[in-house]
Structure 1
Amino acid sequence: MRLETLRIQGLRCLGEVSLSLAAGINVFIGANGAGKTSILEAVFLLSHARSFRNGAKEALLQRNASSLAVFAELRHTDTRLCRLGLGKEGSRWDARVDGERVPIGRLVRECAVVCFEPGSHALIAGAAEERRRYLDWGVFHVEHAFLGAWRRYQRALKQRNSLLRSGESVSDALFLPWEAELAQSGHEIDQQRQLYLEQLRPKLAESMAGLLPELGSVELRYRRGWPDDLSLAEQLRMQRGRDLARGHTTSGVHRADWSIVFELAPLREHLSRGQEKLTALACLLAQAVLYAEHRGEWPVMCLDDLASELDLAHQQAVVDQLRVANAQVLLTGTELPQALQGPEARVFHVEQGRLAPLL
């Protein structure tokens, strides 16, 4: 898939931006704070309905603006053209596909974007929530039943947590229907996650071998969020007393996590910050490869500030892989990276939220 056009209104420092994108590599260069990352952020919003940046959601809006909007024309490999839109006014988000208002899930299923940016090392070194997001994004795009199970699970989790906060006087009978729903939907989610990880493992091994061969073989370990020798229904029943004391549900798929273990670096603490970044990048590339295998087209690849995140050899390795895959790439930097010197890339200069094509 590739974005043919992109229009952004009221996002951070971008007041009104409209551009046509090349099918291959697109590079946005300019000084720090010029608005380069916000362009990638706009594309990411269409695929995830959230930013990859930390901070309050209100910070997405341009100063003194009351709304923001991102529009794009997306061309699939089968030549199908989709017109996508995502807007925010106040606290309300509005998603559209081909002019029709749709649920957010419909929009993000249509547009797939994988982004490597300075905060991506949190996928390896950060909280489990980051790794669950990565995992569930992948499952969502290959398993249509996932979203329904995830919504049922979240609703039941909210209800059970509400009962837990009500105190010990709550009858056990009130917990039973919500725990049954948690157990059923949680089992579906866990099975879908495990199947996805089995498909991801060989892609991950290949990706790691290309970027971190010095660390030896790699193993991906998954913890589902409750003991392997119990069903989730049994675990919820056994943990009800402790959960009442804590006021929230301590077991379930919302507590799942996964980790990467290298033969020559068995603990995460053995990795340098640079190796954490390369591990995260390898995970993202492996996910993109698996997406392409399932869907017949690569996701849009965003690489923020690539030259400051990777040395030249690794920049070249990544760019070469994406060229071979014919993936559309959106890349930012303060200058044109050496790995992209040549006539292939479309280059834009970004200054104070304005864009001008250079090549």
Structure 2
Amino acid sequence: MKLERLRIQGLRCLTEVELSLSDGLHVLIGPNGAGKTSVLEAAFLLSHGRSFRSGAREALLQRGENALSVFGEWRHADGHAVRLGLGRNGSRWEARIDGEKGSLGQLVQACAVVCFEPGSHALIAGAADERRRYLDWGVFHVEHDFLLAWRRYQRALKQRNSLLRSQPVAEASLFLPWEAELAQTANLIDTWRRRYLDDLLPHLQSQAHSLLPELGALDCRYRRGWSDERDLGEQLAEQRGRDLARGHTTAGAHRADWSIGFEHAPLREHLSRGQEKLTALSCLLAQASLHAERRGEWPLMCLDDLASELDQAHQEAVLAQLQASGAQILVTGTDLPAPLAALPAHVFHVEHGRILPAGPA
């Protein structure tokens, strides 16, 4: 999948920019704060419906403005082209597909972007919700019914949590339909997540062996969010009293997590910060590789501030792999990373929210 044109208005420091892209490698160079990362963020928004940066959604808006828009023209490997847009006016978001209104789910389904950036180590060292988002994005692109089941689950979870916080305490009979819905949809989500991780594991092992051979064999551990020996509906009924005291549901698919262990570093705490980054990168490359295997095309690959995140040897290894795959690649940096000096690349200078093509490297 290739992004052929990207237009951004009102996103952070980017007032109005347009970027035409080709096949292969593209490098955005400029000082800190110039807007390089925001270009990657714009493409990521179309693919995920959210930013990879932490913080409130209001931070996406250019200061003093209440609207932003991102538009991209994409072409699939089979030649099919699609025009995708995401806009925000005030607090309202609107997705458009080929000029027609669409849902955010349809937008995210229509393109794929994988991004490695300075916050990616949270996939290994951060909270479980980051790992669930990673997992569910992959499942979403494989299982067409996932989004419907996930929405049903979230609705039931919201209703049960509301009952847990109600005063006076709600009758037990009011919990039963929502707990049944939670159990049914959680089982579906759990089945799909397990299947996806099983398919992902060989790709993870291959990537980790390439980037972290000193750590030995890799294994992935998954926890579904409730007891493996119990039906979720029964468990929710049994621990309702505890959940009433806490005011929220403490078991279910929203509590799932997964982790990676190595032969010579079985626990996350055994990894250095650099090894955490390389493990996260292995996860992202594995996800992109599996996506390419399933869909017949690689996602757009974004590497933010590459030179500061990886040493030169790992930069060279990752870029060589991606170039061999035929993936379209966007890389940012304050200067041209040394491993790129000898590679054919389209270079752009980014200054004060403006993007100027500098020609091939």
TM-score (normalised: structure 2): 0.98
After TM superposition, list the pairs within 5 Å mapping 1:147-162 onto structure 2: 147-162=147-162
List, as ranges, runs of 4+ consecutive aligned residues in structure 1 with deviation greater than 6 Å. Answer: none
Distance 2:328 2:167 in 1: 54
**What's the counterpart of residue 251 of structure 1?**
251
Deviation at 1:167, TM superposition (A): 4.4
Matches within 5 A, 1:310-329: 310-329=310-329
Say whether residues 1:76 and 2:98 are aligned partners: no
Q: Structure 2 unaligned segments of length 5 or more: list them.
A: none
What secondary structure sits across from 1:342 in the alignment? coil
**Secondary structure class of the residue paired with 1:22:** coil
Q: Cα deviation per residue 1:288-335 (whole Å; 9 max; x = unaligned)?
A: 001111111101011000000000000001001100110011110011
Which amino acid is 1:342 matched to?
A
> Deviation string for 1:174-197 (max 9, x for gaps)?
001000100000000000000000
Checking the alignment, whether the CA contact within 8 Å between 1:165 and 1:247 is kept in structure 2 is: yes
User: Does the Cα contact within 8 Å between 2:163 and 2:169 map onto a contact in 1?
Assistant: no
Per-residue CA distance 1:83-119 (angstroms, 9 max, x = gap) = 1100001000010010010000000000110000000
1:17 is matched with: 17
Instruction: Indicate the residue corresponding to 1:239 in structure 2.
Output: 239
Give how far 1:343 is off: 5.5
Instruction: Tell me how far apart the structure 1 counterparts of residues 66 and 261 of structure 2 sit (CA, whole Å).
Output: 46
Residue matched to 2:64: 64
CA distance in 2, matches of 1:45, 1:294: 22
Q: Distance in 1 between matches of 2:269 and 2:184?
A: 36
Residues 169-178 or 125-134, more deviating: 169-178
Q: Distance in 1 between matches of 2:104 and 2:271?
A: 37
Greater displacement, 194-203 / 163-172: 163-172
CA deviation map 1:249-270 (0-9, x unaligned): 0000000000000110111111
The amino acid across from 1:146 in the alignment is F
Indicate the residue corresponding to 2:165 in structure 1: 165
Rounded Cα–Cα distance in structure 2 between residues aligned with 1:149 and 1:284: 25
Q: Residues of 1 paired with 2:244 and 2:168: CA distance?
A: 7
Deviations 1:26-75 (A, max 9, x none): 10000111110000000000001111111121111111222000011000
* Structure 2 residue 93 is the aligned partner of structure 1 residue 96: no
**Which residue does 2:51 correspond to in 1?**
51
Q: 1:294: which partner in 2?
A: 294
Matched-pair contact (CA < 8 Å) for 2:17–2:354: yes
SS in structure 1 of the partner of residue 239 of structure 2: helix
Q: How far apart, CA to CA, are the structure 2 residues paired with 1:348 and 1:202?
A: 36
- What's the offset of the Cα at 1:237? 1.1
Residues in 2 aligned to 1:110 and 1:338: alpha-carbon distance in whole angstroms: 34
Report deviation, 1:23: 1.2
Q: Residue 41 of structure 2 corresponds to which residue in structure 1?
A: 41
CA deviation after TM superposition for structure 1 residue 342, in Å: 3.2
The corresponding residue for 1:351 is: 351
One-letter amino acid matched to 2:213: P
Return the TM-score normalized by structure 1. 0.99
**Distance in structure 2 (CA, Å) of the matches to 1:232 and 1:309:** 41
Q: Per-residue CA shift, 1:181-225, capped at 9, x if unaligned?
A: 000000000000000000001110000000000000011000000
Give the distance between the partners of 1:170 and 1:211, measured in 2 at CA.
54
Query: Cα RMSD (Å) of the superposition?
Result: 0.8
Aligned to 1:278: 278
The number of residue pairs the alignment matches comes to: 359
Q: Distance in 2 between matches of 1:76 and 1:108?
A: 14
Q: Tell me, yes or no, if the aligned pair for 1:167 and 1:244 is still in contact at 8 Å.
A: no
Q: Distance in 1 between matches of 2:169 and 2:256?
A: 30
User: Which residue pairs with 1:130 in the alignment?
Assistant: 130
CA contact (8 A) 1:7 1:19 kept: yes
1:327-349 Cα distance to aligned partner (Å, 9 max, x none) = 01111001111111135110000
CA offset at residue 169 of structure 1? 3.0
Is the CA contact 1:95–1:104 (under 8 Å) kept in the aligned structure 2? yes
* C-alpha distance in structure 2 between counterparts of 1:209 and 1:342, whole Å: 26
Write out aligned runs for 1:148-227 (5 A).
Answer: 148-167=148-167, 169-227=169-227
**Mapped partners of 2:169, 2:280: distance in 1:** 46
The answer for unaligned runs of 5 or more in structure 1 is none
Please give the residue correspondences for 1:257-268 in structure 2 after superposition, counting only pairs within 5 Å. Answer: 257-268=257-268
Helix, strand or coil: the match of 1:248?
A: coil
User: Partner of 1:142: helix, strand, or coil?
Assistant: coil
